[in-house]
Structure 1
Amino acid sequence: MADDAPGPVTVPGLLFLVAVPGLEAPLAAEAKAAGFAGVTVLPGGVEVTGGLPEAIRANRTLRCAVRVLWRVAAFRALHLAQLDKRARKLPWTEWLGPDHPVRVEAVCRGSRIYHHKAAAQRLAGAITAAGIPVSGPGSGDAAIPLKARIEDDLCTISIDTTGEPLHRRGHKSFVGKAPLRETMAAGFLWQMGFDGSQAVVDPMCGSGTIPMEAAEIAMGLVPGRSRDFAFAHLAGGGSEGPCPSRSPAYLEKDEGDARFFGFDRDDGAIRGARGNAERAGLSGICSFARQAVSDLAPPEGMAPGIVLTNPPYGARIGERKLLFAVYGALGATLKARFSGWQVGIITSDKGLAQATGLALEAVGPVDHSGTKVWLWRGRVA
């Protein structure tokens, strides 16, 4: 069959930062603040300019990103033979190392190539021909994912430089029931206007994600300091040296007193949260204690800050009817004792949010593991 489509066109200098659906804006703002160029918000994430060095920096430092895809090539392919021929012209060894296997994934939409398994097999053959090992679909996290998207006959190839999702910071061993992921906590803190200077209180903290994420932001701690990444197995990806523990702008910053507080009525959750904070190096700035919502009080000597919490909302834990009393008690406590504080409640249930009796606006939705949730935010009068 004639090779009648344009030849391969590499696309250097493009990264796609995958976002939690609904939290693209916080990720874009974070990328701009971190100095990434060409920040463009797209459905499901943010595109920035950069190559492997920028991908490494994004993986190590961005808190709202779920993973970092390095877009390495794009070309037209009208049928499988063309896909195979163009794939074999790509400089695979410039991107992929010979000692770590690759797992090929393909998605086909609105294209004459419509069979994703056949497309993945052709790409895998081209990679194998370049001397790079390819693993089968069941290889899991042991292989570097290479993702091909064929849409309107355009094949775009991206390398997953992350590996395990970025919410797995590497220092949390205890996880409570229905946990909020760290990437989401960072995005919700941004939506609350958190800049590192305010006190943060979570009255139903579970494993401590929200206070810990706030503390790390305030101290300039690098989120990727305690974990490994897929980029270390790419060609040239292991030459960047160890990950720094803190951003240079925060190296001389003092911890100060604890101003990030988590409370929960579950003893096990509090023990787990304390252990998580200790492993993350946050024991001196985070405080966790067992306490009922009705006993909640502002930290002594601190200006009004932020109350942000992810309570149970029936879809995941407990019965919805029983939760109205919990939300009502939270609202009554905040109105009685937290005048001037900002409040953020993460829930999928409008009725439960309204049960607080607080004047709250809904921001969202955000996809929380398949459940649409909103951030209900406001300020206590």
Structure 2
Amino acid sequence: MTKSADFEIFLATNPGLEAVLCDEVRYKGFKRPVAVPGGVITHGGWPEVWRANLWVRGATRVLARIASFRVTHLAQLDQLARQVPWSHVLRADVPFRVEAVSVGSRLYHEKAVAQRIGTAIHETLGAPQSPDAEIVVRARLERNVCTLSVDTSGEMLHRRGHKQAVNRAPLRETMASLFLRQCSFTGEEPVLDPMCGSGTFVIEAAEIAARLNPGRSRHFAFEQLATFDAQAWEKMRGVQSARTPVVRFYGSDRDAGAIRMSRDNAERAGVASWTEFVERTISEITPPEGPPGLVITNAPYGNRIGDRKRLMPLYRALGQVLLARFGGWRAGVVTTERHLAEATGLPFLAPEAPVPHGGLRVTLFRTAPLPR
């Protein structure tokens, strides 16, 4: 890899959401994106890496792939790792660490792989190793092929930088944005979340409608790489694409603390002018004035046997209210249990693939416009 060459850029996401992320990456103008297990591959240079971190809502990390080679023993790994032009990417004065994963390879000892690569980088570049370093070199060995990447994001990308308060088991912003996309949301219609928690769906929808870059409020690891151009980055960040949404976005919850939390988060995100949060039970929700849109919620779900029976009345009430009052609206319900979704009585389309989330697997159940 040279500083100016195009290379593979890997945008990671939750398994099951690769095709949705690929659609977003294509929509945002990146070169020939291809969905692969665990994410999306595109091509470009360092400006595309910065842009992916700044623009793409659904990616959890952006990795710059800097080298790939076949390897079957540690001495060979040491030799090949020393041939990588690390000075083109890493800085000698910035600490780094190496993380390794091995799948179906003769080099199966991941700790030994990470140590060899770390030593090779340190001895050829001079950069110090640190277990707490923000700069992470990721080595993946799969069927004896080692792919070396630099994690350009740092903290995971769902940490937008402007959301401080969260409720229990919050849905990550990256996942929420992809679920909105799966529900065909483009920013032109209202969104209502009747169990809004900390406001994730509502705030993401408002940001999409306002065309606010998801990475606008945070720092990225690539700012500490040898390839970083501070002036070009500031110019990229300074491009104004924001607009005033033509609709509003609504959240409700029976918990007054959740409503305060959501309002504070919306204020920090800069979307308070287009969002409304009110304390309200499921039975009290009504459609706001204006055109129909999307009702979407990360409904409560549990992992104990008794949770399903306890939650059935809540799901049943949600379905009854939507069918009675929200004709013309579409609905999306995220839950772990098909039986809970079915308790709503809503006419769901074929469900999407389950997605790992917080040690569980959740599914988006969605409808076409409900009958009027």
Q: Give 1:242's aligned residue.
A: 234
1:299 matched to 2:288? The reply is: yes
Q: Secondary structure at the match of 1:65?
A: coil
Aligned equivalents of 2:211, 2:306: Cα separation in 1: 37
Alignment of 1:343-354 (within 5 A): 343-354=331-342
Q: Give 1:170's aligned residue.
A: 161
Contiguous gaps of at least 5 residues in structure 2: none
1:16 matched to 2:10? The reply is: yes
Q: Give 1:122's aligned residue.
A: 116
Match of 2:201 among 197, 210, 214: 210
Alignment of 1:104-115 (within 5 A): 104-115=98-109
- C-alpha change, 1:243 and 1:282, in structure 2 (3 Å) is farther
1:195 matched to 2:215? The reply is: no
Q: Give 1:43's aligned residue.
A: 37
Aligned equivalents of 1:243, 1:290: Cα separation in 2: 42
1:327 matched to 2:315? The reply is: yes
- C-alpha change, 1:21 and 1:247, in structure 2 (3 Å) is farther
1:360 matched to 2:354? The reply is: no
Q: Secondary structure at the match of 2:32?
A: coil
Q: Give 2:47's aligned residue.
A: 53
Give the Å deviation of 1:124: 0.9
Aligned equivalents of 1:132, 1:244: Cα separation in 2: 31
Q: Give 1:254's aligned residue.
A: 244
TM-score, with length taken from structure 1: 0.91
The alignment yields a C-alpha RMSD, in angstroms, of 2.1
Aligned equivalents of 2:239, 2:295: Cα separation in 1: 26
- C-alpha change, 1:226 and 1:329, in structure 2 (3 Å) is same
Alignment of 1:133-144 (within 5 A): 133-136=127-130, 138-139=131-132, 142-144=133-135
Alignment of 1:148-159 (within 5 A): 148-159=139-150
1:95 matched to 2:89? The reply is: yes
1:376 matched to 2:368? The reply is: no
Match of 1:27 among 5, 21, 34: 21
TM-score, with length taken from structure 2: 0.94
- C-alpha change, 1:189 and 1:43, in structure 2 (3 Å) is same
Residues 74, 154 of structure 1: 8 Å contact kept? yes
- C-alpha change, 1:163 and 1:75, in structure 2 (3 Å) is same
Cα deviations by residue, 1:324-344 (Å, 9 ceiling, x for unpaired) = 111111111111110010000
How many percent of aligned residue pairs carry the same amino acid? Answer: 49
Q: Secondary structure at the match of 2:158?
A: coil
- C-alpha change, 1:342 and 1:86, in structure 2 (3 Å) is same
Residues 169, 358 of structure 2: 8 Å contact kept? no
Aligned equivalents of 1:144, 1:230: Cα separation in 2: 6
Give the Å deviation of 1:105: 1.1
Give the Å deviation of 1:244: 5.9
Give the Å deviation of 1:288: 0.5
Which 4+ runs in 1 deviate beyond 4 A?
Answer: 8-12, 243-248
Match of 1:68 among 57, 62, 65: 62
Give the Å deviation of 1:154: 1.6
